[in-house]
Amino acid sequence: MSTASTFKRTFTSLRHRNFQLLWIGTIVSNSGDWMDQIALNWLVLELTHSPLSLGLVNLCRAIPVLFFTPLGGVAADKWERRRILMITQSSAMVLAFLLGALVTTGHVVLWQIYVIAALRGTIMSFNMPARQSMISDLVPRADLANAIALNSATIHLTRVLGPSLGGVLIAFLGIDWLFYLNGLTFLAILNTLRMLPDVGTLKKRGGALREMADGFRYIRGHETIFFLVVLAIVPMLFGQPYITMLAVFAHSVLNIGPMGLGLLTSVASVGSVTGALAVAGRRTGPRIGLMIAGIMVFGLSLILFSFSSSLVSALIFLFFAGAANVFYNSTNNGLIQSLVEDNYRGRVLSMLQLNRGLVPLGTAVTGFFAEKFGAPAALAGMSSMLIVLGGIALIVRPKTRISAEGEEVPLHKAH
């Protein structure tokens, strides 16, 4: 297979104009989000000098996600997904400008950051199920797995663009400018959303709680989907907090400052893009066994990073951690979306977004242990659970594989 053919296969879903619009807007908007995240983490550390406070800010964002994301899934199945995205993105833009103004005027205090983090979590609860569900409305089923992987690559590419620029801007312009720039980037996604069609409604509209319960029953009644949803959620509690903890490593372990923090995050994101593109460029469909292997490599790479003795070795292990993390997540998402029925898509995908609530919860736990035992021991201890979970998953995995057409095939019949 030629390099040109592989390249064409990797980016095949971009031939669809509507997905292309969403993809472009996501690049700009998410770059701003990551600049904002770098700035927020650094702001909290400057105000408190405490990893625990950093974890608590993330916990404030986690609680609304855990409570409201299932309702966000119902909304994604009931109403036009484009309009949901326009409302949530506009609200997030207002919060970004507000936080910038608080920093500029010198009135920012920790409780305000807690409140803004909670509001952002609420917005995310409705934004992410609609955004993920919308991909299937913009591309045909044959290109869905590719579009999911490419969207994941885009999100993680912005981890390179945002933090690398964010670290420089903190050093030369100040934290408040990153919040303002994030607010401006929302205009890009709002403009592309304006050009997209209204998509996603249920023909039969029932009560939100009844539909949410129906979604839970659907997941629990499908063995493979239930297995995949659990593996989308639980490992992230132990592994994904490493992104937030990079601020602690840059600030207190490696002593490399805000520009060094941007470097750490960017290298992890380069690995993430590599992992996502590896999924997008595969000739065969996503496999459960490869997904589980990704979980275990993710955990091992984070353990090695935790005890790295030099910046170079830390960057190498971060690259592999980022690649394995996104390879596992993109494969998991592709498997689920190939199996789920369209009228349950929003509710099932909202369960995947619960990891956005568990990650800050895991960050709070990691922050607590970092305060007691040091950041390296805390992160390594949490990451070791990924290897344990991967081993358990290998034992209890469904005895099927997923065909390219989204059908389950018993392993003894697979070729």
Quote the CATH superfamily of domain 9-413. MFS general substrate transporter like domains (1.20.1250.20)
Determine the 3-state secondary structure of 240 from DSSP. coil
Across the chain, mean pLDDT equals: 81
**In the predicted model, what is the mean pLDDT of residues 222-229?**
88
Report CA-CA distances (Å) from 205 to 165, 209, 221: 45, 12, 22
**In the predicted model, what is the mean pLDDT of residues 341-350?**
81
**In the predicted model, what is the mean pLDDT of residues 86-106?**
93
pLDDT at residue 14, as a whole number: 83
Q: State how far the Cα of 365 lies from the Cα of 359, in Å rounded to an integer.
A: 10
Q: What is the pLDDT of residues 181-210, one digit of tens each?
A: 888 888 888 888 888 877 655 555 567 778
Q: State how far the Cα of 268 lies from the Cα of 153, in Å rounded to an integer.
A: 12
Q: What is the pLDDT of residues 4-58, one digit of tens each?
A: 565 566 778 888 888 888 888 878 877 777 788 778 888 888 888 887 787 788 7
Residue 261 CB burial class (10 angstroms; 0-12, 13-18, ≥19): buried
Q: State how far the Cα of 234 lies from the Cα of 291, in Å rounded to an integer.
A: 14
Q: State how far the Cα of 109 lies from the Cα of 265, in Å rounded to an integer.
A: 26
pLDDT at residue 415, as a whole number: 42
Residue type, 351: M
pLDDT at residue 208, as a whole number: 75
pLDDT at 98 over 90: yes
pLDDT at 137 over 90: no
